[in-house]
Chains A and B, each alone.
Chain A
Amino acid sequence: MLEVAGIAKRFGGLAALADASLTARAGAITALIGPNGAGKSTLFAIIAGFIAPDRGSIRFAGREILGLPAHALARLGVVRTFQTAQPFAGLTVRENIAIGCQLRARSRAEALREAAGIARQVGMAALLDQQAGALTIAARKRLELARALATGPRLLLLDEVMAGLNPAETAELIAVIRAIRDGGVTLLLTEHVMQAVTGLAEQIYVLNGGRIIAAGAPAAVLADAGVIEAYLGHGAAARLSGRETHA
């Protein structure tokens, strides 16, 4: 569905991405993890058309999409959410979601009607007439998801939708995301919350220092020595395995 190959991006002297490649299989959930500053959000912004990379290629459904602006990608079905929720603060939840619906709906009235259904899907039906600016962090995260879902995406890019949620809220949202996948949407997500990653993803990519350092099924990737070192520091893998043999 999505094939990202050899993406590089420098911001001034800082190489945010050196050579990032990944593939998201159609109808599956793929996760992109990595320590802070690894370049996850940059890669997401590049895939969604918000930042132009220095080189590389991005193919979606067999077609090169690099260079298309964000709104054109959204029309093709590639839709992102933002790590820091970006609500239309002065509008109600219903109006927020309706902006997403508008991409496919024939009229404004139809978009507003459909918004209610989307809100139910993500568990926001009770908040439909609230001002988006007055929502809690958890509700704003849901609204991000709802709006993106409302566009009728084929590939949904979720940038840390779980961050800042308590475990109960996380569990609820995991169920919501599974249901979206079961509806036929391909998902690529970045996440810090490991509960979410291991519970959701079929395939994990680990980004560190602008490069993919490991890829595979969740259990295998999380046991990978290079991945442990990336998260816990140099020598951590050896210390951890040493402790295991002593025990």
Chain B
Amino acid sequence: MALPLLALAALAALPLLLRSDFWLHFAIMTLYVALLGQSWNLLGGYGGQRSFGHAAFFGTGAYAAAVLQLDLGVNPWACLALAGLAGAAAGALVGALSFRYGLRGSYFALVTLAFAEVFRILADSVPFTGAGVGLQIPLRQSAANFQFPDKAGFYAVILALTALATALAWWVEHSRFGAALVALRENEEAARALGIDVNRTKLRAIALSGGLAGLAGSFYVQYYLYIDPRLAYGVEVSVAALLVPLIGGAGTVFGPLVGALVLRALNEASSRLTGDAPGLNLVLYGALLIAILAFLPDGLVSLGARLRQALRRRAPGHA
């Protein structure tokens, strides 16, 4: 327990060290992607329900935050909480429909993808989302307004949110709920036979996952003060949400953090090397994902255990 708290304290002190806005922005984006990845991880990593449309929950949270403050004048901090609820509701809706009809595996992935696309098209058409033009949040910088004059404030918020998501993953790993979730991932029939209400467990997981994605969506809106259908419900969000845990280690507490760091670093490196050739980062993501799946199917966090195993095999006297 002490070590994670120390790490959190060290991370909280990071803005004092990183005097440049560039690196602070990098840290913020890494934590933000980690939050998105942790959201996917709860459902896809622990529960084995691999969504290909996490943008459906992220975007719903983002639009909830934007619309509530623009149209109803709700305080943006309250919007953050409500965006979490909106994301959870979107998750519960998608979950209720797909789990009731027993959709698993690639069928579930396709249905979530379809939901994200339907939501994108809806956001593109109805007036209160600003349709294709998107929604712009007027600039009124103050901490009370969740618009910080410097990046350190945003950093503190995203650090807190990602820490919360990571604590949730830790809780899932140590709770009865999490054990039931992992059991149904491993074998649904056996889980039912042992008294696990499979559909209800999945539904809770997808609501929790959607809630975290909704929080990420609200943060995104406050950070960029702009949202449109493509940014909210685009496939880029869904891909980032699933790449992060798959690369770092799905179904582990720290996998999404590792995956987020690697992906963001790769993203920065590729844009430095090539300027901004569009799509090149996706090519790199793809190559990295293939390499991980081929050589480290349990993600980068399993690298340590793999190396120890290899060393033990090499060491004399341990044949």
Question: Is the CB–CB distance between A71 and B192 below 8 Å?
Answer: yes
B236, CB-defined interface residue at 8 Å? no
Q: Which residues of B lie under 8 Å from residue A107 when comparing CB positions?
A: 176
Distance between A212 CB and nearest chain B CB, rounded to angstroms:
25
B175, CB-defined interface residue at 8 Å? yes
Question: Is the CB–CB distance between A99 and B179 below 8 Å?
Answer: yes
A185, CB-defined interface residue at 8 Å? no
A87, A98, A103, A108: which contacts B190 (Cβ < 8 A)?
Answer: A87
Q: Which residues of B lie under 8 Å from residue A150 when comparing CB positions?
A: 194
Residue-by-residue, is A46-72 near B (CB-CB < 8 Å gives 1, otherwise 0)? 001010000000000000000001111
Bound-state Cα–Cα, A150 to B183, Å: 15
Question: Is the CB–CB distance between A91 and B195 below 8 Å?
Answer: no
Bound-state Cα–Cα, A86 to B174, Å: 23
Instruction: Given A98-B179, A102-B176, answer yes or no on A50-B192 (Cβ-Cβ < 8 Å).
Output: yes
B175, B182, B195: which contacts A151 (Cβ < 8 A)?
Answer: B195
Q: Which residues of B lie under 8 Å from residue A69 when comparing CB positions?
A: 192, 197
Question: Is the CB–CB distance between B176 and A108 below 8 Å?
Answer: yes
- Please, how many residues of chain A have a CB less than 8 angstroms from a CB on the other chain? 31
Q: Which residues of B lie under 8 Å from residue A151 when comparing CB positions?
A: 194-195
A80, CB-defined interface residue at 8 Å? yes
A111, CB-defined interface residue at 8 Å? yes
Between A71, A79, A80, A102, the greatest number of chain B beta carbons within 10 A of the residue's beta carbon is seen for A71
Q: Which residues of B lie under 8 Å from residue A74 when comparing CB positions?
A: 192-195
Within 8 A of B (CB), among A69-112: 69-72, 74-75, 79-82, 86-91, 95, 98-100, 102-103, 107-108, 111
- Please, how many residues of chain B have a CB less than 8 angstroms from a CB on the other chain? 20
Question: Is the CB–CB distance between B179 and A147 below 8 Å?
Answer: no
Which A-chain residue is minimally distant from B195 (CB atoms)?
A74
B186, CB-defined interface residue at 8 Å? yes
A148, CB-defined interface residue at 8 Å? yes
Residue-by-residue, is B189-211 near A (CB-CB < 8 Å gives 1, otherwise 0)? 11111111110000000000000
Distance between B107 CB and nearest chain A CB, rounded to angstroms:
21
Which B-chain residue is minimally distant from A97 (CB atoms)?
B194
Instruction: Given A95-B179, A99-B183, A107-B176, answer yes or no on A82-B194 (Cβ-Cβ < 8 Å).
Output: no
Q: Which residues of B lie under 8 Å from residue A50 when comparing CB positions?
A: 189, 192-193
Distance between B59 CB and nearest chain A CB, rounded to angstroms:
33
Q: Which residues of B lie under 8 Å from residue A79 when comparing CB positions?
A: 193-195
Query: A residues touching B (Cβ–Cβ < 8 Å)?
Result: 48, 50, 69-72, 74-75, 79-82, 86-91, 95, 98-100, 102-103, 107-108, 111, 147-148, 150-151
Query: B residues touching A (Cβ–Cβ < 8 Å)?
Result: 174-176, 178-180, 182-183, 186-187, 189-198
| Additional A-B contact list (7), CB under 8 Å, known A80-B193, A82-B193 | A50-B193, A74-B194, A82-B190, A100-B194, A102-B179, A102-B180, A151-B194
CB-defined A-B contacts under 8 Å, sample of 10: A50-B192, A69-B192, A70-B192, A74-B192, A74-B195, A82-B189, A88-B186, A89-B186, A98-B179, A108-B176
